[in-house]
Amino acid sequence: MKKLVIATRRSRLALWQAEHVSGLLKSIHPGLEVDLLALSTRGDELLDQRLDKAGGKGLFVKELENAMADGRADLAVHSMKDVPAELPPGFVLAAISAREDPRDAFLSGKFSSLAAMPEGTTIGTSSLRRQAQVTERHPALQVRLLRGNVETRLAKLERGEYDAIVLAAAGLVRLGLESKITTRLEADEMLPAPGQGALGIECVAGRPEVAALLAPLADAATTTCVRAERTVSRALGGSCSLPLAAFAELRAGQIRLRALVASADGRRVLRSEGKGTDPERVGEQAADDLRRQGAEEILGL
């Protein structure tokens, strides 16, 4: 193949991610032409609703998959935390690239940390996972819905609509906005979403010529960790309507996986931790442990 077309969302972060993958492909395959097809998705358009109420993570990928299915695009680049645990039939994740900082970031012009926020002050997030973990540790804070792209969310903070907000650190780093971060939240305080910080490259199954071009982009360690995290999500329903977190680290060939399921109000939080060498097995064991603790009751499964 001499040319590839990447389907991408129109947000500045999504375009950065697509351009990043384009640059990698052109450096690995000299002479390859790569174009971008920028599309608007339902997830970008529904800015006044929680994603769990509007249809879930698939709202960010469906239009991109349609473009691949009808031949307008050869691949799509996603933030892995936005990719449903189960892909539609006919699509595959051809590569998961090296992970950026997987942590969440606390941003505030008023306070140095979550612990420093007084009773009744407001913190913005669109994530049930973040909401549950904030509320568990800081029940006196008011957690309010915050939607929109990174720049929109930052503008709302700067206008004083929120006293603080929580965003993924990776997106801020990629956009050159690292200086906006007040502090990074360690995994013990805010366990990340499955796949957070990693980029996934999706294509239509049965296109070996595309898969061969994408294969060098895969990072083995990141792929192993994300597979373990996504196994937990898939085993427990795989939807962003679940207040679910999972984060794996790989050291000396050993996977350490931490997983969490919570009620949205933070009153019930279940945690599991496991180790092993097979990512799917470690993920399944964590999901089984969470079920034994009552995860299905919390999640309404």
DSSP state of 80: G
Q: Where are the alpha helices (DSSP H) in 123-261?
A: 128-137, 150-158, 169-174, 208-214, 220-235
Tokens 């930052």, residue located: 154
Per the document, the length of the chain is 301
Tokens read off for 56 = 């879930």
In the set 35, 52, 74, 82, the catalytic residue is: 82
Tokens read off for 240 = 């962003």
- 188 carries an active-site annotation: no
Q: Where are the alpha helices (DSSP H) in 140-185?
A: 150-158, 169-174
Q: Find all residues with CB under 8 Å of 113, minimum gap 6, and list them.
A: 106, 182, 183
Contacts 24+ apart (CB under 8 A), 268-274: 268/294, 268/298, 269/132, 269/133, 269/136, 270/294, 270/295, 270/298
Active site amino acids: 82
